[in-house]
């Protein structure tokens, strides 16, 4: 151990990031972390993505974590920068995404002297604990290196990163400017930290609580699930958001195959299942669902709910109907009817279930309900205005197999719910936290992560005009990084979803009437970056664009402004609000 080389603390952090597969860092520079950024810039394996503001950086980290199924990093400067990021970090908390919020703070002697430096709030009684205390409320771990013993710095950094990936939630890590250059032992780097999605080791907790060994409990819960499934006449699987977050896409798809039953996703877990497979029965969200999908789900006598997420926006305002005796699976608990098995982990149980359910698989469950058509296939009428219902089903036919699709929180998120995606496409939305504007930053991060996997992957963003205006500047970052997403701006002259909820004619639901066709010329500026803009008002125009083979190639960044009328909303939204559109 003593022979291990010493390395600068900043380099230690970088090595831990790289071990987690991080290749890009989002953020905005500031004088309290410029020297930290030097280490990033010198490292050939990690790239700094300068964002336009910190909120955009936090959203980008969120999108990057979703698509890479790994950790992401948002770097900000003390006070002014970090507070700008907090909305995005809180969103990552609500949505369960592993984001490290790395903050550069003033040099330690200044902090120890409680000096009144810039970016502090100039309040009596201490300057330096205020910001991290704010972050503490939204972080799975808060590590402030100045509060750690000199020989505990690498342990503290490791604690932050381990917590981030094990909990799948954001952590806060504060590094005083001078600490970046402190020499620390590289020895701990030889022991990799867990990766996102690796099951927790509950063994010691079980021992402390004097519970039976986990293997015994897992076996018991597996038996109970198999028995309940076997007894059911019409069981279904509901694959939900936590299964997506814990990288269980392959497992849940295999589970559906093994059980040979109809399977549903939820509004927030779209694309987790193979939506082209005959087993796929739609996105079930209680009253929000297409009626054929709801009818089929509600006729089931047993639901195996994998990775349940019971928020209002995911359950059609708690209107899902789950039969008694159904099963809910989580990474730290399983419920079988009224019985609970704390500590049990779906990541360990599902692989077992795949083997066991295959033996009691249902024989004739895959009769496709002829009324359960998932996309409306009305033909385009060349001069007709574009209605929400027509538009979303039309997009459904345009997606390609490996597309990464994002929908912002306005009408877009609801429009996408019933649209069946290609087998390997990904869909992301932020319905739990529900911050408008999230998708623009997230599309930047998602696009970078998708490009790492396969440069030919398309990123497709649907964002309302109101949402776009919050975070539009990240389109500048996309241009700067040579990314080529499709940005569909749904122009309905304001906050339509709000108008439907309340105040259809109130001025507070109006927004500035931008000319969205000017965005790319503005953001591309004088760079010579290729870009393309379209503005479509009729079904015929949108249809022609979506049929154009050149348009389908993601070889440049594109903005497509789509005009839809005020007062129109996707049927899912009308249903959840209990109103007829």
Closest approach, Cβ 438 to ligand TPP, in A, equals: 8
- Residue range at the interface with ligand TPP (CB under 6 A); choices 172-180, 279-287, 461-469, 471-479: 461-469
298 counts as binding ligand TPP under rule CB under 6 A: no
The least distance separating ligand TPP from the CB of residue 509, rounded to whole angstroms, comes to: 8
- At closest approach, how far in Å is the CB of 31 from ligand TPP? 29
The DSSP bridge partners found for residue 405 are 427, 460
Give the nearer residue to Mg ion in terms of CB position, either 54 or 465: 465
DSSP H or E stretch at residue 64? helix 54-68
Q: Which residue is nearest to Mg ion (CB)?
A: 464
Residues in binding contact with ligand TPP, number by CB under 6 A = 18
Q: Binder to Mg ion among 120, 266, 492, 539 (CB under 5 A)?
A: 492
Burial class (CB in 10 A: 0-12, 13-18, 19+), 434: middle
- Asked whether position 490 contacts ligand TPP by CB under 6 A, the answer is yes
Rounded-to-integer distance, Cα 104 and Cα 10, Å: 11
Q: Out of 467, 471, 477, 539, point to the residue binding ligand TPP (CB under 6 A).
A: 467
Q: List the one residue from 464, 476, 485, 571 that touches ligand TPP (CB under 6 A).
A: 464
Q: What is the largest CA-CA distance in the chain?
A: 77
Q: Verify binding: residue 411, ligand TPP, rule CB under 6 A.
A: yes
| Residue 494 in marked binding region | yes
CB 372 within 8 A of CB 425: no
Q: Residue 460: name the closest of 498, 412, 499, 496 by CA.
A: 412
Return the range that interacts with ligand TPP (CB under 6 A); candidates 44-52, 210-218, 391-399, 402-410: 402-410
For the bound state, the minimum distance from the C-beta of residue 19 to ligand TPP, rounded and expressed in Å, comes to 34
CB 271 to Mg ion: min, Å: 24
Report what 346 binds from Mg ion, ligand TPP, none; CB cut-off 5-8 Å by kind.
none
> What's the closest the beta carbon of residue 27 comes to ligand TPP, in angstroms?
20
Tell whether residue 568 is a contact of Mg ion (CB under 5 A).
no
**465 appears as a binding residue in the annotation:** yes
Q: Minimal distance in Å, beta carbon 476 to Mg ion?
A: 22
Catalytic residue annotation: 31, 54, 118-119, 434, 465, 492, 494, 498
Residue 464 found at the interface with Mg ion (CB under 5 A): yes
What dihedral angle (degrees, nearest 10) is formed by the CA atoms of 517, 520, 523, 528?
-140
Show contacts of 510-517: CB within 8 Å, 24+ apart.
511/465, 511/466, 511/469, 512/469, 514/465, 514/469, 516/465, 516/468, 516/489, 516/491, 516/559, 516/561, 517/559, 517/561
Q: Which long-range contacts (CB under 8 A, 24 or more apart) does 145-148 make?
A: 145/9, 145/173, 145/174, 145/175, 145/176, 145/179, 146/105, 146/108, 146/111, 146/112, 146/174, 146/176, 146/179
Any contact of residue 465 with Mg ion (CB under 5 A)? Answer: yes
CA distance 343 to 186: 34
CA 324 – CA 303 distance, rounded (Å)? 9
Q: Please report whether residue 445 would count as binding Mg ion according to CB under 5 A.
A: no
Contacts 24+ apart (CB under 8 A), 516-520: 516/465, 516/468, 516/489, 516/491, 516/559, 516/561, 517/559, 517/561, 519/472, 519/475, 519/559, 520/475, 520/479, 520/557, 520/558, 520/559
Stretch that binds ligand TPP, among 191-199, 304-312, 428-436, 530-538 (CB under 6 A): 428-436
Segment interacting with ligand TPP (CB under 6 A) among 167-175, 296-304, 431-439, 535-543: 431-439
Angle in degrees, CA 205, 206, 209, rounded to 5:
85
Binding ligand TPP by CB under 6 A: which of 27, 56, 410, 571? 410
287/492 with CB nearer ligand TPP? 492
Residue 45 dihedral angles phi and psi, to the nearest 5°: -100, 5
Q: Which of 285, 466, 485, 571 binds Mg ion (CB under 5 A)?
A: 466
Q: Output the CA–CA distances (angstroms, integers) from residue 206 to 166, 168, 339, 345, in the order listed.
A: 18, 22, 18, 13
Q: Using CB under 6 A, pick the residue from 128, 202, 495, 516 that binds ligand TPP.
A: 495
Q: If contact means CB under 5 to 8 A according to the sort of partner, which of ligand TPP, Mg ion, none does residue 573 touch?
A: none
| Binding window for ligand TPP (CB under 6 A); candidates: 398-406, 439-447, 472-480, 490-498 | 490-498
Residue 97: C-alpha distances to residues 31, 140, 154, 456 (Å) = 28, 11, 23, 25
List the interface residues with ligand TPP, window 365-384 (CB under 6 A): none
- From first CA to last CA, the distance across the chain in angstroms is 69
User: Judged by CB under 5 A, how many residues of this single chain contact Mg ion?
Assistant: 5
Residue ranges in 494-513 that form contacts with Mg ion under rule CB under 5 A? 496
* Residue 268 vs 492, nearer CB to Mg ion: 492
77 binds ligand TPP (CB under 6 A): no
Cα–Cα distance between 244 and 253 in angstroms, integer? 11
Query: Minimal distance in Å, beta carbon 60 to ligand TPP?
Result: 16
Residue among 434, 530, 534, 546 that touches ligand TPP (CB under 6 A): 434
Contact (Cβ atoms closer than 8 angstroms) between residue 141 and residue 71: no
- Binding stretches for ligand TPP (CB under 6 A): 408-411, 434-437, 464-467, 490, 492, 495-498
- Binding stretches for Mg ion (CB under 5 A): 464-466, 492, 496
Binding residue ranges for Mg(2+): 465, 492, 494
């Amino acid at each position: 151990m003593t022979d291990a080389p010493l390395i600068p603390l900043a380099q230690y952090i970088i090595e831990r990031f790289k071990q987690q597969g991080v290749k890009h860092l989002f953020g905005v520079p500031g004088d309290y972390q410029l020297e930290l950024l030097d280490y990033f810039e010198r490292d050939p394996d990690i790239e700094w993505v300068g964002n336009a503001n910190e909120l955009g950086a936090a959203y980008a980290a969120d999108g990057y974590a979703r698509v890479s199924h790994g950790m992401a990093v948002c770097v900000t400067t003390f006070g002014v920068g970090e507070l700008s990021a907090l909305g995005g970090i809180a969103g990552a908390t609500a949505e369960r995404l592993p984001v490290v919020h790395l903050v550069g703070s003033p040099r330690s002697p200044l902090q120890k002297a409680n000096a009144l430096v810039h970016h502090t709030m100039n309040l009596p009684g201490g300057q330096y604990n205020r910001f991290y205390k704010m972050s503490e409320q939204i972080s799975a771990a808060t590590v402030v290196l100045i509060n750690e013993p000199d020989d505990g710095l690498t342990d503290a950094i490791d604690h932050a990163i381990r917590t981030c990936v094990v909990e799948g939630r954001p952590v806060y890590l504060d590094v005083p400017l001078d600490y970046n250059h402190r020499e620390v032992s590289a020895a701990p780097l030889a022991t990799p930290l867990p990766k996102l999605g690796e099951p927790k080791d509950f063994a010691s907790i079980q021992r402390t609580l004097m519970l039976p060994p986990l293997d015994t409990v897992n076996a018991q819960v597996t038996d109970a699930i198999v028995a309940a499934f076997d007894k059911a006449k019409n069981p279904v699987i509901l694959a939900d958001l936590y299964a997506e977050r814990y990288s269980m896409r392959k497992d849940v798809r295999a589970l559906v195959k093994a059980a040979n039953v109809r399977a549903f996703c939820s509004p927030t877990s779209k694309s987790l299942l193979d939506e082209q497979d005959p087993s796929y029965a739609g996105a079930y969200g209680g009253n929000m669902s297409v009626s054929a999908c709801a009818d089929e789900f509600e006729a089931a006598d047993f639901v195996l709910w994998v990775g349940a997420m019971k928020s209002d926006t995911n359950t059609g305002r708690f209107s899902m109907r789950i039969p008694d005796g159904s099963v809910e699976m989580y990474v730290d608990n399983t419920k079988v009817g009224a019985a609970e098995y704390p500590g049990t982990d779906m990541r360990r149980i599902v692989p077992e279930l795949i083997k066991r359910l295959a033996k009691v698989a249902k024989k004739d469950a895959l009769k496709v309900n002829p009324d359960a058509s998932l996309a409306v296939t009305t033909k385009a009428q060349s001069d007709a205005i574009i209605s929400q219902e027509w538009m979303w089903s039309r997009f459904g036919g345009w997606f390609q197999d490996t597309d990464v699709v994002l929908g912002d929180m306005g009408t877009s998120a609801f429009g996408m719910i019933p649209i069946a995606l290609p087998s390997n496409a990904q869909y992301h939305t932020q319905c739990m936290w529900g911050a408008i504007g999230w998708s623009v930053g997230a599309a930047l991060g998602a696009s970078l992560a998708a490009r790492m996997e396969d440069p030919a992957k398309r990123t497709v963003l649907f964002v309302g005009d109101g949402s776009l205006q919050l975070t539009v500047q990240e389109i500048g970052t996309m241009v700067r990084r040579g990314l080529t997403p499709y940005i569909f701006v749904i122009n309905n002259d304001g906050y339509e979803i709000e108008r439907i909820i309340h105040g259809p004619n109130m001025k507070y639901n109006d927004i500035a009437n931008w000319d969205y066709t000017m965005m790319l010329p503005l953001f591309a500026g004088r760079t010579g970056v290729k870009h393309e803009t379209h503005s479509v008002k009729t079904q015929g125009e949108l249809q022609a664009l979506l049929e154009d083979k050149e348009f389908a190639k993601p070889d440049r960044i594109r903005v497509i402004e789509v005009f839809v009328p005020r007062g129109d909303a996707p049927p899912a939204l009308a249903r959840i609000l209990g109103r007829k559109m």
